[in-house]
Structure 1
Amino acid sequence: MTLGPFEDAAIVKAEPVRRADPMADRFRERYGVTAWYGHHTPAWWALVDRWALVEGATPEQLGEAIMAARRMR
């Protein structure tokens, strides 16, 4: 197979990273939310009560954003 002008381009196999994240587990246990670290953003994110997507630069800021979202509801 030839790629034409893209012959020298890198080929990347995109697969989601599936690994246990202790910090995400702590957010699930403490706040009952799904949380993750966005490696491309770089920020912490959480889906609060299935209606609000919040972010924080640090885990502490994410915790504050989660509580603020819950107060707004």
Structure 2
Amino acid sequence: MSEYQYYELPAVDSPLDAHEQAEVRALSTRARVTATSFTNEYHRGNFRGDPRRMMEHYYDAYLQGWDR
């Protein structure tokens, strides 16, 4: 069965520098990564990163959506 997954993590308080952006970009080649956000959609498969850990180091909030 396919599953749709959506992840969005904004960096509100402090934008990510180029090195930090490269670190989170390494978690997914399909993600849209900017200094202020990480956005990713999956129609098959799973995100291999840990959004809670990403919040500890890079981001200020976390939104996840899915549909089975």
Query: Does TM, scored on the shorter chain, surpass 0.5?
Result: no
Q: Which has more strand, going by share of residues?
A: 2
Question: Structure with the greater relative contact order (CA < 8 A, sep ≥ 6): 1 or 2?
Answer: 2
- The answer to which structure has the higher helix fraction is 1
Which bracket does the TM-score occupy, shorter chain normalised? Answer: 0.3 to 0.5
Q: TM-score normalized by structure 2?
A: 0.33
What's the TM-score once normalised by structure 1's chain length? 0.32
